[in-house]
Amino acid sequence: MIIINLPYIAAGLLAVVVILYFTWPAFRQMLQIRGGKAVSKATKASEKQRHEHKRLTAELNLQLDNVASARANATQAEKDVTAAEADVVKYTNQYKTAVQGKASEDAKNAIAGKVAKAKQAVTNKQAIAAEAAKIARQAVEALDQARESLQDFADQIENTEQKEALTAVLNTAAESSMALRNINDRLSAAGAASREADHDLEKARAKNDLAMGSDTDREIAAIEKQASAAAIRAELDKELGLG
């Protein structure tokens, strides 16, 4: 029975790859090109930005509970003030009743003490409520600012992606230009090959022209663009009273 030793096979293949890498320039170039493209593709600027945007969004969502708690504390503090003010009214009415009913001095003093204590509670709770409201307001403002910053960051990511797309188009165009230049250099070597390359070149130019649209299409697009700009300016002039 044949026994396959996978670790030895893997080690052998790795050794072959290493030998080819250092002894065969074309093989080394291929690995460098493929490896470079893989690393570049995995570390695009927009991918890094989207990863960071996702992380920051998660952090923002975690802070929602804290902001909600701050607002709840402010609301509860206002309710505490209202309750303390109600106690002042209650004990004040009790004191009036005690005075009108000719209650004992001890009873009137006790109720008066409750009134004073309730008034002090109102003062204390008002200070707490004011501080709680300030904290809640600051928390909400910070949350809104963070959301706005995240949206700006998202817009920046889209701009980065557009730049990357344009870069890819330019790189492709550069590669195509180099390939066409090479074809032109080889055209002088053979008439038949030259005619065929000329045909391919004209076909590529025709495809490029067709992709850009006809002269009429471009003229119409320019007219529409000018009309749109004129309409926007007319609307703005009307709004500002400049017309």
Domain residue ranges in the chain? 64-153, 166-212, 216-243
Does residue 101 sit in helix, strand or coil?
coil
- Cα separation, 182 vs 184, whole angstroms: 5
Residue 5: predicted pLDDT: 60
AA identity, residue 180: L
Mean pLDDT computed over every residue of the chain: 76
**pLDDT tens digits for 49-102?**
778 878 887 787 777 788 888 888 888 888 988 988 898 899 889 888 888 888
CA distance 107 to 10: 98
Q: Please say if the pLDDT value at position 120 is more than 90.
A: yes
Tell me if the pTM is above 0.85. no
106-117 pLDDT, tens digit each:
888 888 888 889
Q: Give the tokens for residue 210.
A: 């067709």
Distance CA 150, CA 144 (A): 10
Determine the longest span between alpha carbons in the chain, in angstroms: 129
| Mean pLDDT, residues 139-165 | 80
Predicted confidence band of residue 186 (pLDDT cuts 50, 70, 90): low
